[in-house]
Amino acid sequence: MHIKILFSASVFTLLLIASACNNSNTTAKEPAGSKKQTAPTNDTLSNEPQCSITIDDKEFEVSEDSISTCYSFSDSTLGVTIKGIDGGRVVFTMPNFFKCPCKISTGYSNINTKIAGTEEYAMRPTLELYDYPIRGISFRNLNDGYHEKGVTENAMEIRAIEKINENTTTNWAEFLIKGRIHTTVLKNVYESAARDKNKDYTVAGSFVIKSKIYF
């Protein structure tokens, strides 16, 4: 019995780690974001790691060491966290990572978002803004914290993914990822205490980042 309990706890922990990059919200009948949408391949981004994020009219140049990634094997999503936004951070998700280059909408669903006992799938936002412009506040590009906005296309474009290094002994590969962001995070109905800081924000920018994935 003790062994069974330990095994169950281990499986539960692994499931939590696998979905650590994601947040659940609204629902859909079928998984969204599973179809490849081809993005333009011509782009002026170089191969040097870089990241520039603009929130409304304020621009932030983000260093490579302020960016982290998290790959989920269970649903093939890559989560990216960009810090250095005046104490805040931008978090976005690339669904079906290995189907890119692709265009990414404001919401997605997959096998991990299926609602138990139903044929519906929770929809998750593809980009979130935390602790900006003040600490403790958050915004999403899919909903206002309660009401869903219809999913819209072209929130992001993943322009290129290139394997730049790999190790078959320890089973990892490193990828260079190029992309552009242009989306809007929505005023949050639960952040009324923030007053005029609680509003829609346009988030735009470009990035060339590296991500190491262990297989």
Three-state DSSP state, 3: helix
| 134 in Cβ contact with 177 (< 8 Å) | no
For position 44, what pLDDT does the model report? 84
pLDDT-based confidence at residue 30 (cuts at 50, 70, 90)? very low
Q: Which of 98-102, 123-127, 149-153 has the lowest mean pLDDT?
A: 149-153
Q: How high is the pLDDT of residue 122? A: 87
Weakest-pLDDT range from 37-51, 99-113, 141-155:
37-51
Residues with Cβ within 8 Å of residue 171, at least 6 apart in sequence: 214, 215
Does residue 26 surpass a pLDDT of 80? no
Token pair, residue 212, equals 């190491």
Apex CA 89: angle with CA 155 and CA 154, to 5°?
Answer: 5
Rounded to a whole number of angstroms, the distance between the first and last alpha carbons of the chain is 32
Residue with tokens 């094997």: 73
Contacts 24+ apart (CB under 8 A), 52-56: 52/205, 52/206, 52/207, 53/82, 53/85, 53/90, 53/181, 53/203, 53/204, 53/205, 54/202, 54/203, 54/204, 54/205, 55/85, 55/129, 55/132, 55/201, 55/202, 55/203, 56/201, 56/202
For residue 65 the two structure tokens come to 């060491």
Burial class (CB in 10 A: 0-12, 13-18, 19+), 149: middle
Please state, in angstroms and rounded to a whole number, the distance separating the CA atoms of residues 34 and 8. Answer: 30
Query: What average pLDDT does range 118-131 have in this prediction?
Result: 94
Judged against a pLDDT cut of 70, whether residue 6 lies above it is answered with no
pLDDT at 71 over 80: yes
Q: What's the number of domains the chain is made of?
A: 1
Q: Give residue 165's domain range.
A: 2-214
Residue 142 confidence (pLDDT): 96
Phi, psi (degrees; rounded to nearest 5) at 14: -65, -40
Q: Distance between CA atoms of 189 and 144, rounded to whole angstroms?
A: 6
The confidence band for 25, taking pLDDT boundaries of 50, 70 and 90, is: very low
Q: Report pLDDT digits (tens) over 127-186.
A: 999 999 999 999 999 999 888 888 999 999 999 999 999 999 999 999 999 999 999 999
Give the model's confidence band at 21: pLDDT under 50 very low, under 70 low, under 90 confident, else very high. Answer: very low
